[in-house]
Amino acid sequence: MSVGERLGAVRERIARTGRNPDEVTIVAVTKGFGPEVCAQALQAGLYYLGENRVQEALAKMDAVEGAEWHLIGHLQTNKARHAARFALVQSLDSVRLAEALAARGGVAALLEVNVSREAQKHGVAPEAAVETAVRVAGLVDLRGLMGMGPAVGDPRPAFAELRRLRDGAEQRLGRRLPVLSMGMSDDLEAAVAEGTTMVRIGRAMFGIDRLGVPC
């Protein structure tokens, strides 16, 4: 199955929820795949590419032209100097990191919130999300919120909570935060039903990566 065919299948899954697929931005997660797969994604019309690791992303940026790169994995403060290479940092998870990003110029970012409340995941606690959003909005170009569903169980409550937190942050800031990034290959439909504007799709778009790891 080609990347283009897989993209069509993902868009059909979105459409079956009752949403217009054009309302949902698809970020193709290319971690573990080489530049040739990134090029195939671009040829299929996938303009937004997501990477988990800074160094892997930087190597691909030099080899692949025409993409808008998103960092979706955890960013350590000592690598903040590389953030300007990304069109969007989706994994801003602390005021300290926002300060490090601000020291290196304007960066567009999403605040990552651990709405699944799982210890292995990054992100600010939901209870602190609105206040943190207000604080980091003065340091970076805050575009919205990002979160992941739980490893097991119904993801919709977590996604609904992220949407409410985004709405609360908008009220506090007095402006829109248009990006709500939630939903991956396995919980796409739940995220779309709860109002996501951006999904991060790896396995459903590319299958298993070259290391044999589902993405």
Bridge partners, 71 (sequence order): 51, 89
Q: What is the pLDDT of residues 153-172, one digit of tens each?
A: 999 999 999 999 999 999 99
Report pLDDT for 105.
82
Residue 126 contacts residue 114 (beta carbons within 8 Å)? yes
Domain 3-206 has CATH 3.20.20.10: yes
Buried b (16+ CB within 10 A) or exposed e, 134-147: ebbbebbebbbbbb
Q: What is the pTM of this model?
A: 0.93
- Residue 102 has φ and ψ, to the nearest 5°, of -65, -35
Q: What is the DSSP string of the chain?
A: --HHHHHHHHHHHHHHTTS-GGGSEEEEE-TT--HHHHHHHHHTT--EEEES-HHHHHHHHHH--SPEEEE-S---GGGGGGGGGSSEEEEE--HHHHHHHHTTS--EEEEEB-TT--TTS-SB-HHHHHHHHHHHTTTSEEEEEE----SSS--HHHHHHHHHHHHHHHHHHTS---EEE---TTTHHHHHHTT-SEEEESHHHH-B-TTS-B-
* 131-146: pLDDT as tens digits: 999 999 999 999 999 9
Amino acid 139: pLDDT = 96
pLDDT grade, residue 212 (50/70/90)? Answer: very low
Instruction: Enumerate the β-bridge partners of residue 141.
Output: 108
Assess whether pLDDT exceeds 80 at residue 106.
no
Q: Is pLDDT of 124 > 80? A: yes
Place of tokens 């991956």: 184
Residue corresponding to tokens 């993209």? 7
Query: Structural domain boundaries of the chain?
Result: 3-206
Note the pLDDT of residue 131: 98
pLDDT in tens, 14-37: 999 999 999 999 999 999 999 999
Question: Rounded distance, CA 149 to CA 151, Å?
Answer: 7
Give me the chain's average pLDDT, please. Answer: 94
Write down the pLDDT at residue 155.
97
Q: Which residues contact 117 (CB under 8 A, 6 or more apart)?
A: 125, 126
End-to-end CA distance of the chain: 17
Tokens of 180: 């709500």
